[in-house]
C-alpha cells in the first residue's frame, strides 16, 4: 500500500512540476528577458524636444527597453529645425525626461566632434569647439584643454556618449564626408592618434564615453557612405588601422563605430559593418578589441540602397555589431523602423539565423560598459 501511495505522490509531483515550468508566467518572464537584451542593442533617433508621457520615444523606451538614443539639432527628412536640441536648458530637461522612462539607463549620444559636425552649436547657446583639422595643428596639451570643456558641457547636460573622435586619416583631402568637412585631425597617423588620445582622456575625466570612428578607416574614400556604398579597395592604406591599434593597446578604446565601406581585398561582398572578416578577424582577433562595436547608421544609403533591411540587420549582428544605430534622420522618418529591427532579430533567433550567443555577448558588453561608466 505504501509503495502505491509513494508512486502516486511521485507522479503527482512530476505533473505539478511540469505545469509550473510550462506556466505562462515563466514563459513570459523568459521572453521579457530576451526582449530586454535585444532592446539594449538598439540606439534610436527620434523627433521631439520634450519627453512627454505619451510621446513616441517614451513609448519605445518602455515597450522594448532600447539601449540608447541619439539627439540631433536638424531634422534631415523635413529639412527643418529643431529636431531635439534648442538650448542648453531644454536639452538637459529632455535628457532627464528620457532617462526617467528607462528601465535600464540609456546611452544618450550626440555627434559633438567640433567644427561643422557638432549638434551643440554656439548659436543655440553652447560653447564653440574647433574642427578636428584645427585641433590637429595644436599641441596635445592644448587639445586636451579644449576637449575638457566640451566633455564638461556634455556631462552637465546629461549626455554620456559622444560619437567621436574621428580617427580617419586624411588621405584624400577632397573626401566629401571627411577631409572636406575638416573632420580628420591630420594626414599623419601619429598626429591622429595623439589628438584622439587627448579627446578620450578629456572625456574620460568627465565620465563621457568616446566612440572611435569610422572603422576600418574612411579617410581615403572618394564618396559619401550616406548616399551609397563606398569602395576603398584601390585607395585604402594599411596604416589607417594604426590609431585603432594604438588606442586599443593603451586601453583607451571603449566603443568603436563601423564604416559602411567595402574593401574587396578583405571582403568581396559586404561592407565592414556587415562583415565578420572586418569585425571579427581584424577588429576582435587581430587588434584584440574587447569593447562595444556600434554600427554607423543602418539607414544610410550604403546599406539601404544595396541590402534589404532584414538582411542588413541580421548580417550586422552576426558580423559582430553589438549596437545598431537607427538615426531616423536620413531620407525618410519611419517610426516603425526600430520595431522592425527588433522583430527581425527575434525572428532570426527563432529560425536559427542568429545564434543566441551573439545576443548574450552583446548584452554582456553593453551592460559592462554602462556599469564601468557609472550609467548603471
Pairwise CA distance, residues 220 & 116, whole Å: 20
Q: Half-sphere exposure of residue 100, counting CA atoms within 13 Å on the CB side? A: 10
Pairwise CA distance, residues 136 & 294, whole Å: 25
Q: Is the Cβ–Cβ distance between 121 and 84 less than 8 Å?
A: no
Grid cell in block for residue 173: 583631402
Catalytic residue ranges: 226, 296
Looking at the DSSP assignment, which residues form a beta bridge with residue 110? 162
Residue 137, classed as helix, strand or coil, is coil
Query: How many residues make up the chain in this entry?
Result: 376
Buried b (16+ CB within 10 A) or exposed e, 16-31: eeeeeeeeeeeeeeee
Q: Which of 149, 113, 138 is nearest to 194 (CA)?
A: 138
Pairwise CA distance, residues 284 & 320, whole Å: 9
Grid cell in block for residue 294: 556600434
Amino acid at each position: 500500500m505504501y509503495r502505491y501511495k509513494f508512486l502516486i505522490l511521485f507522479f503527482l509531483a512530476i505533473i505539478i512540476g511540469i505545469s509550473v515550468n510550462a506556466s505562462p508566467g515563466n514563459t513570459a518572464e523568459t521572453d521579457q528577458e530576451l526582449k530586454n537584451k535585444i532592446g539594449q542593442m538598439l540606439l534610436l533617433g527620434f523627433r521631439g524636444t520634450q519627453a512627454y508621457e505619451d510621446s513616441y520615444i517614451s513609448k519605445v523606451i518602455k515597450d522594448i527597453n532600447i539601449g540608447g538614443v541619439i539627439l540631433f539639432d536638424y531634422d534631415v527628412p523635413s529639412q527643418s529645425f529643431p529636431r531635439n536640441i534648442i538650448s542648453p536648458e531644454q536639452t538637459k530637461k529632455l535628457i532627464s525626461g528620457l532617462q526617467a522612462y528607462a528601465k535600464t539607463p540609456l546611452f544618450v549620444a550626440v555627434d559633438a566632434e567640433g567644427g561643422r559636425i557638432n549638434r551643440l552649436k554656439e548659436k543655440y547657446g553652447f560653447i564653440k569647439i574647433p574642427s578636428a583639422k584645427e585641433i590637429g595643428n595644436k599641441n596635445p596639451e592644448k587639445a586636451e584643454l579644449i576637449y575638457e570643456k566640451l566633455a564638461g558641457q556634455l556631462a552637465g547636460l546629461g549626455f554620456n556618449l559622444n560619437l567621436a573622435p574621428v580617427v580617419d586619416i586624411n588621405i584624400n583631402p577632397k573626401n566629401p564626408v571627411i577631409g572636406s568637412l575638416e573632420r580628420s585631425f591630420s594626414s599623419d597617423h601619429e598626429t591622429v592618434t595623439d589628438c584622439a588620445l587627448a579627446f578620450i582622456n578629456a572625456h574620460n575625466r568627465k565620465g563621457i564615453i568616446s566612440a572611435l570612428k569610422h572603422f576600418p578607416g574612411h579617410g581615403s574614400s572618394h564618396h559619401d557612405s550616406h548616399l551609397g556604398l563606398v569602395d576603398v579597395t584601390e585607395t585604402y592604406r594599411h596604416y589607417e588601422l594604426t590609431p585603432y591599434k594604438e588606442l586599443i593597446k593603451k586601453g583607451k578604446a571603449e566603443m568603436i563605430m563601423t564604416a559602411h565601406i567595402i574593401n574587396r581585398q578583405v571582403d568581396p561582398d559586404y561592407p565592414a559593418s556587415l562583415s565578420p572578416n572586418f569585425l571579427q578577424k581584424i577588429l576582435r582577433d587581430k587588434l584584440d578589441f574587447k569593447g562595444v562595436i556600434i554600427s554607423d547608421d543602418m539607414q544610410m544609403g550604403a546599406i539601404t540602397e544595396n541590402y534589404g533591411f532584414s538582411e542588413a540587420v541580421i548580417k550586422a549582428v552576426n558580423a559582430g555589431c553589438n549596437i545598431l544605430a537607427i538615426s531616423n534622420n536620413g531620407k525618410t522618418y519611419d517610426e516603425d523602423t526600430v520595431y522592425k529591427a527588433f522583430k527581425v532579430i527575434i525572428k532570426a533567433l527563432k529560425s536559427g539565423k542568429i545564434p543566441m550567443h551573439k545576443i548574450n555577448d552583446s548584452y554582456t558588453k553593453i551592460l559592462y560598459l554602462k556599469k564601468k561608466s557609472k550609467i548603471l
